[in-house]
Chain A
Amino acid sequence: MLPSFPPWLPWTHLRTCLHSQGLPIQKATRNGNSCSLAILHPPQHPAPRHFNWIVGALTSREYYRAAWLGLNVFLFVYYFLLFDKDKKFYYTRVVLGSALAWARASAKCLNFNSMLILLPVCRNLLSFLRGTCSCCRRTMRKQLDHNLTFHKLVAYSIALFTAVHIIAHLCNFEWYNDSQQAADGSLSSILSDLHQDEESNKWLNPIRSNNTTPAYVTFTTIPGLTGVIITVALILMVTSSMEFIRRSYFEVFWYMHHLFVIYFAGLVIHGIAGLVRGQTAESLKEHNPELCAQDPKQWDRKNKHSQCEEPEFGSIPAEVRALCCLAASALLHFPSAVMHPSKVLELQMHKKGFSMEVGQYIFINCPSVSCLEWHPFTLTSAPEEDFFSVHIRAAGDWTEKLNDTFQQQKPKTPRIEVDGPFGTASEDVFQYEAAMLVGAGIGVTPFASVLKSIWYKFQHADQRLKTKKIYFYWLCRDTGAFAWFKDLLASLEQEMEESGKAGFLNYRLFLTGWDNSLAGHAAFNLDNDTDVVTGLRQKTSFGRPMWNSEFSAVATAHPRSVVGVFLCGPEALATSLQKCCHQYSSLDPRKVKFYFNKENF
């Protein structure tokens, strides 16, 4: 689902890197023909080639991840050293050893990561940030839209730090209990006995009685009980989010993930009781642990000759920062529904306070089908139209029920709630003189929006549209589920003929699920004007496209242009298209260049 830039492509990296940093890039013209991309302000001291490659090799996403990792390492090491070396915790360390430092350092990292984990998936916060950050909109949008990978990364780190934290505290409880029950006069048993009988709250050892177990203490203290509850919630969330479960049984993942509410509530309460204690500042003035630890029998507040008073302890408040999510604000809509063949439902809704761009998606909820489920769908209408639409194919529980609800034609149209739009808008598609758009299977859906938008812009001679020629490749097994897209192509074909611009869009359909009878039928009807399978003017091809011949044909037709290649489809196809882009891009900057964009539609 998410694009990944292979590290062996310096050209694409450099271009994306430059784009995302807002460096001015402009096509230089030469003798009226356009050249390839050139940077407007070349660097004063051109860096050596290998340095450019290194800089270009790391995308902005990788910089953010390196920063996150660095912060984690810094927090862990800083708090580990603090708890391991500070004099305040000298006596705590006598009882607990270095397990104290492990527990506290991992707790700080847990706080940091728990604060971050909601950020990538908090949709309204995302929309808010996207809207306000106009200076670096592109970088911010691209980074925030790579949310799920980051969310998973933070989740794994939370699981890791939880394991470290729990193991450290298991040791802590055990050793606290041991030192409480020990009667051998050792320093730790003396420390455990201090202030136990008073009401003064100056004790060190939270375990008060001699005949208890760590398990009992865990379940009768607030930190222990909340710790167990939130860990169980975390484990349930993790096991139900395994890829296999998520892809096969989405509802289990969706409902179980709502346990995050329990996780956060428990996390806030977890640190409140303050069972981890250090020596108070006043006590440190009168009692220096490094000197007085050697002779604990001399500690006596009644003995005026003693240098060491009895040490007193206070709790360290555990700071928990919780990030409150803004409530999702969904717009209510009453859509008009259009049924298409092969159980495809088109919902058209009017825009009120809704602005979209090509290639974006929205989340839809239908309360009459299911109150809690929100499902994402790519928008198939163009921004220039006065309504927005999605095409929903019945391919699962929720979509089947939605289909049935709309088919029943009840007197009152079912209500739809919409959240969004989200996703990286692909504005690049309008910037190339020639564009090759490849849509495979369900990946053809965002291109409905793109094609319509390009056509509107072309009709109205929009200045933002630089495209003069589009090559559209549609690959699918069979056109059954995409009959609505076929109709769109047919209507575009007709409109182009009527306005006399028939050469603008050149599309080819490839049916990869063909059999002998279909091919025979097509061969028989070769001389007809329209295609026997689709009814379009353009003949259907069978099997997969031969990209070499396609690219060489485009290169021959546009010998001096920059051609943008856009794909929405499987990874294997991306690899072969990238290869072709490299192969057919000329080394001469005045000649044809292919740029590959695998946008996250």
Chain B
Amino acid sequence: MKHLVLQQQNCNTRRSNSFRTSGSLDSSVDGTFKSPAALFWLVLHGLCCLISLVLGFRFSRLIFFLLFSTNTTTTTTTNHYTVPALLRTTSDTAQTLTLQTPSLSPPISITDTPSNRTSTTTTSSRVVVGRHGILIRPWPHPNPVEVMKAHHIIERVQREQRLQYGIKNPRPLIVVTPTFVRTFQTLHLTGLMHSLMLVPCDLTWIVVEAGGTSNETASLLEKSGLRTIHIGFEERMPITWEARHQMEARMRLRALRVVREQRLDGIVMFADDSNVHSMELFDEIQSVKWIGAVSVGILAHSGNSDDSSSLPQKQEDEENFPLPIQGPACNSSGRLTGWHTFNSLPYVGKSATYFDDRATVLPRKLEWAGFVLNSKLVWKDVEDKPEWVRDVDTLAADGEDLESPLSLLKDTSVVEPLGNCGRKVLLWWLRVEARSDSKFPPGWIIDPPLEITVPAKRTPWPDAPPELPSSEKMNDVQEYTVKHPSKTSRVSRSKRKHESRIADVQVSGRNAEGN
């Protein structure tokens, strides 16, 4: 009870209050000062207190406990009430004199030792007032079988919660992902694959691969267990980011055409392989009717600046500009009034123009990833298709720059803002790629396994593993000094992390072999 928490904080003053005010009311206290028997008890108690001082534990309680433990009749009422009550109250004040160590009356007792006093004289009760032992079983550790049972219960409860309060009858999802062969393709696709495997509804994953389908990608998609449609796109990925964005848009249209040909039903969402999706996104998009937009957080990091003098400026930049968000903008009544787009002004002249450029990679004004469509919008002959949507074929034929699915619409005001009207950021845009001259093992398999150990001084990798990301800015300065001058300083952040990881592997491998 909470009030007893407060009670125990103020117990001393409260008890002194009680003594002051109840001095006249509490007849038992009056009685002890008047009758010789009670006086005898008082003297005995004082003796016990002195003994406790010497011995170092509370002697008085133990003696009375042992003396009266044999006496279990129900007629022992008032004597035993006054004496232990007196003991308890006065021994509390005498607590400052006696040491606290409980020894012979230990709190840890395996057997149940109920106290000797019963609570009522009229009817017998199973519940006794007074000191009880604290029951502890000999092996208080969790039983693994029971832990599993508990998890079954939790899982069943959560399933029931989802059934009752979650999405009922989720519509199937169609996920469109443009991808191309590069070092980090496996990394990104694996991450996306795991996200999609957790989605609790039917899923069709359309992967459009530039440069034709590759075996590695196909084997990766097979391992997922999802229903996938792997499409090869004949052109190769261009170098410049401008052209890349356009080609990705064309690849997405290709996927939409597949949706139309096969008349796939459901909700179309665009998941770039390098993006990060939250599970709430998949629940939120179920509520779209025709076309909806969610807020996308843009993690546009700069590739790295060479000179350390720009570091303080970068810090200042990050203080001034919070995480940029792309998405729908609403007025106070929850209706779509406009769009938050990525503000590329601070990056003018500093943005990456081609792949593997060290400068910042910027997103477009409005990313495709932030939009979801009802698949019926791209079907050919549907009666209730709204008039504000253009045909997919006409779009591709035009060849105009397809910035976002908004080009599919004649009237952009029909877009439904999702995620609490764009206030919730449900996915993040991030372009992290490996360096072009990176030394990643092909297929991510080190074959034959590492046997040769090379001292660290001979390797171009840094000796010390980098510190935690919170101190990464300081780390930048450190690592540059450690590096050999021959190495160029064009490093993307991901590359650095991977280097350190391999360095760790080397170090641990060396240690293991050394032992």
| A and B associate | no
